[in-house]
A and B are shown apart, each in its own frame.
Chain A
Amino acid sequence: MEGLPSDETLLIGVAERDIGAFHALYERHAGWLALRLGRRCNDRDLVADAVQDTFVAVWQKPRGFRGDGNVAAWLWGIAIRRLVSRLRLRTDIAAVFDSAGPTPAAEDQVLLSVEYGDIGGALARLSPEMRAVIQAVVLDGLTAKEAAQLLHVPVSNVKTRLYRAKAQLRAALAEGLS
């Protein structure tokens, strides 16, 4: 990775209207953004549109990145919000948060519980609705209002679920540690 321009340098290029820098930024980030968005929304065309919106937004305001944090996190913030915008217009598609996967293997489970007080298990034991809210607000950095738009539920609902989920997690952690 040495010798390649940093993401910040590419952003400066974008601010100077260099399509080459813009393309390089796209090549670096469009893939993982699409994958991550695809885990929240099953509709691939919608995800593709959200990716397009994201990069057009980056072109329009490259200086929106204030230099705090890293560029990837900033891009994700834009991307998830673009997905929320797109989803708002399409009531037929809902966000999908559930991963279909099995629980981790036994040894991993033990490791996780030893190191993290079994957060993994605690998360897995949450109901899907509560898990979705935790993912949206805690992991994806959305506000309660944005999470409500993403999940097509009222804001009060989001807040209640968040409160309950946090309480449940806290209890599970306390239990695990003791």
Chain B
Amino acid sequence: MTAWHVDDETLRRYVERTDSVAEGASVEQHLLTCAQCRTRVNSAATAFGLAAVWERTRDAVEIPLPSPFERLLRAVGLPAHEARLVAVASAFRGVWLVGVTAVLAFAALAAMIGHVRGLWLFLALAPLMPCLVVAFSYDRRWDPALAPEMVTPYPALRLVLLRTIAVLALALPALLLFGLVVPDAAPFAWLLPAVGFVAVVLAASTWVSPLNAATVVSAGWFAAVWVVGARSATPAAMLQTRTQVAFLVLASASFGIFLVRGRHLRQLRPWR
């Protein structure tokens, strides 16, 4: 069976749009099933700049799209390339944030229900969240250690700082919000301890893995909460002015250590 193909004349009329309605319809129906005639027609489609369209199409499918967090960072003024750098850390994968929020929400709910126990739970968990997120953003299992990353010219200190600030920028308002719904405690009381712990983990990360540091900090805090809880009735005891000042000093000192040692940071993960 010889295959039927559109003759050159009809094809020319189709391309130049000087054909009749019926002819056009007939050609179009034929093109749907005949690869050979399609090839003949393709070369006539010069007016549409299809080579440039291909470039744009390839860009659209190859170049990674900015994540919502990345767009947020850009919106607050971070240059596009730095926003991308900061966002590319597992800590900012949606799953992580959702998990952390869920834990905090649960703890806040427990506190709201009015049980004093719930309040202690919130006290124990809430200030630790930011430093845990910072720690995870550097841990090998969650953000595989990219050894080539270690010898790139980008200043390691700046990257760690930016990432930490980004974490805090998300976590602290969240903490504040949850703190507002928790009765019997000033909402701001949770902030300084949280910042303090982050500073300690940052400073420690210049020696040891931040996850190890965060684990030690968490254990220490749990122990402190336990001890105070055994002696006093309300968590307010833990958050007096004296404690707040102590945390402020701790945060400043740790941050100072981090900055000083950070200048000599040879690479992004010096404990490896």
Contact = CB atoms under 8 A, between A and B. Distances in A.
B60 A56 contact: yes
Interface stretch (A18-26, A81-89, A142-150): A18-26
Contacts of A35: 14-15, 41, 44-45
B48 A47 contact: yes
A30 B43 CA distance: 10
A34 B25 CA distance: 16
Nearest to B50: A30
Contacts of A1: 35-36
Interface in A40-74: 44, 47-48, 51-52, 55-56, 59, 70, 72-73
Interface of A: 1, 7, 19, 22-23, 26-32, 34-36, 38-39, 44, 47-48, 51-52, 55-56, 59, 70, 72-73, 76, 99-104, 112, 119-120, 123-124, 131, 135, 139
B49 A120 contact: no
Secondary structure at chain B's binding surface: helix, strand, loop or mixed?
helix
B45 A123 contact: no
Contacts of B23: 101, 104, 120
A36 B37 CA distance: 13
A137 B48 CA distance: 26
A110 to B, nearest CB: 14
Contacts of A55: 57
Given A35-B44, A38-B48, A101 B54 contact: no
A18 to B, nearest CB: 11
A70 B31 CA distance: 11
A30 B54 contact: yes
A48 B22 contact: no
Interface string B10-24: 000111011111111
Contacts of A38: 47-48
A31 B24 contact: no
B222 to A, nearest CB: 46
A32 B17 CA distance: 13
Given A56-B60, A104-B20, 15 more contacts: A30-B42, A30-B50, A31-B41, A31-B50, A32-B31, A32-B45, A35-B41, A38-B47, A44-B47, A48-B52, A59-B57, A72-B31, A99-B24, A104-B23, A120-B22
